[in-house]
Amino acid sequence: MTRAALVTGAARGLGASIAERLVEAGYRVAIGDVDLDAARARAEQLGHGAIAVKLDVASESSVEAAFDAVEQAVGLPWLLVNNAAIMKAQKVLDIDIQTFDAVISVNLRGTFLACQRFARRLRAQDKGGRIVNIGSLAGENGGMATGAHYAASKGGVHTLTKVFARDLAPFGVTVNTIAPGPLDLPSIAETIGAENVPRVVANIPTGALGDPRTVARMVVELARPDAASITGATIDINSGLFMR
């Protein structure tokens, strides 16, 4: 049976890598992104029935409309991957309240809205499923070079995962977080500053930025039907920067 998946913020970056791996694993993938043109281009590039949907995760109406569109096109997804996020590396004294609110709205509110709406639909259809939230090492270690707003939002995502996992367990829905460290993506220089990249790499035990494909493969593993006993977990993929 072909399963469907919705990946938020999947037009580029880590989300695009996750979508590509899911297509390789046989999923019918919906590329959700605020940039619909970029989402369409990515869906066309992936092929294999991938579709694009307009999705602003901070908007209740946009989240509802996106799920409606996905259901009409490919049916209720088995998997939701909450990847959409924004990050602006700033020192705590330099963050204005508008930027703080924007980061929290997309990263934390957006994850909550998508999880809640998805879970309601799964429950109504008495259908199990999987939610994978993309957290961050920043949510566990105080932010490094990412800023207080981003760190707080991702720490909140980690906590939301546990709450949703507990509440949704009776319905056969698992909820987990993957917490990546710095990844080898073009956006890293934009988000933490090109001048900071060598310093970050120097502090990584493996001596290299993480591979986004490793995160994507973990998403596929957590989404397996036989992964039902893994829920409420935070999976660290950070090249040894944070060891429990």
Catalytic residue among 8, 150, 173, 218: 150
- pLDDT tens digit sequence for 26-70: 999 999 999 999 999 999 999 999 999 999 999 999 999 999 999
> Which residues make beta-bridge pairs with 29?
5
Q: What is the pLDDT of residue 62?
A: 98
Judge whether 27 counts as a catalytic residue.
no
CATH code for the domain defined by 4-237: 3.40.50.720
pLDDT greater than 80 at residue 1 = no
pTM, entire model? 0.94
The residue whose two tokens read 């369409």 is: 40
- pLDDT tens digit sequence for 112-148: 999 999 999 999 888 899 999 999 998 987 766 678 8
The burial of 159, by beta-carbon neighbours within 10 Å (0-12 exposed, 13-18 middle, 19 or more buried), is given as: middle
pLDDT greater than 90 at residue 171 = yes
The residue whose two tokens read 């944070």 is: 242
Q: How many CB atoms lie within 10 A of CB 61?
A: 8
Q: What is the pLDDT of residue 145?
A: 65
Q: Any idea where the domains of the chain sit in the sequence?
A: 4-237
Query: What are the structure tokens assigned to 136, written together?
Result: 């961050």
Q: Do 9 and 208 form a contact (C-beta atoms < 8 A)? A: no
Give which of 51, 188, 173 is closest to 117, Cα–Cα.
173
pLDDT band, very low/low/confident/very high, at 88 (cuts 50, 70, 90):
confident
Cα separation values, 107 from 99, 121, 183, Å: 12, 22, 18
The burial of 158, by beta-carbon neighbours within 10 Å (0-12 exposed, 13-18 middle, 19 or more buried), is given as: middle
Q: Do 32 and 84 form a contact (C-beta atoms < 8 A)? A: yes
* pLDDT mean across residues, the chain: 93
Q: What is the pLDDT of residue 196?
A: 76
Query: What are the structure tokens assigned to 57, written together?
Result: 């995760």
Higher-confidence position of 136 and 87: 136
pLDDT greater than 90 at residue 178 = yes
Phi, psi (rounded to 5 degrees) for 167: -75, -30
- pLDDT tens digit sequence for 183-212: 888 877 777 667 778 888 888 888 888 899
Angle between helices 148-168 and 110-124 (to 10 degrees): 10
Q: How far is 218 from 235, CA to CA, in rounded Å?
A: 9
